[in-house]
Amino acid sequence: MEERKLLQSFLAESQKGLPPRRMRDSYIEVLLPLGSQPELREKYLTVQNTIRFGRILEDLDSLGVLICYMHTRIHEAKMSPLSIVTALVDKIDMCKMSLSPEQDIKFSGHVSWVGKTSMEVKMQMFQAGICKSTHP
């Protein structure tokens, strides 16, 4: 409980107390090495040797939360005083209907809009020959 109280002391009193942030402050790229790490690939494969799309959605969800934490980061605090959850995904666009289990996947994203109690994150997933965008 003491740690929670300490974390609360890092919160701004109002919007005016927040430092300005840019989209590039929260930009991140992450590589999922399916092609280059066969032992990791096994965790993403179905019995038909196709990619488990639910697993990819879990990764995108985690990345969205990480991006939000990066945007709200308070450098003086070891932990964030905020709790962040994914509320919804607006849209998922795929240029191709399947992912290759033999190629690495690159995820990228950044905060694209911020309100008083919510924020929007735009993410992309790229695999050679495949493009995808999400808006959680």
The Cα 89–Cα 47 span in angstroms is 28
Give me the pLDDT at residue 134, please: 57
Give me the pLDDT at residue 80, please: 76
Render each residue's pLDDT in the chain as its tens digit; 136 residues: 676 667 666 776 777 777 788 889 899 999 999 999 999 999 999 999 999 999 999 999 999 999 999 988 877 777 777 788 888 888 888 877 788 999 999 999 999 999 888 999 999 999 975 555 555 5
Q: Which two tokens stand for residue 123?
A: 């993410």
Taking the chain, what is the end-to-end CA distance rounded to the nearest angstrom? 31
The answer to whether residues 107 and 29 touch, using CB atoms and an 8 Å cutoff, is: yes
pTM score of the predicted model: 0.81
- Phi (first) and psi of residue 96, to 5 degrees: -135, 145
Nearest to 112 by CA among 4, 24, 48, 9: 24
The Cα 61–Cα 11 span in angstroms is 25
Give me the pLDDT at residue 5, please: 67
Amino acid at 92: I
The answer to whether residues 57 and 92 touch, using CB atoms and an 8 Å cutoff, is: no
Which tens digit of pLDDT belongs to each residue from 80-95?
Answer: 777 888 888 888 888 7
Amino acid at 35: G
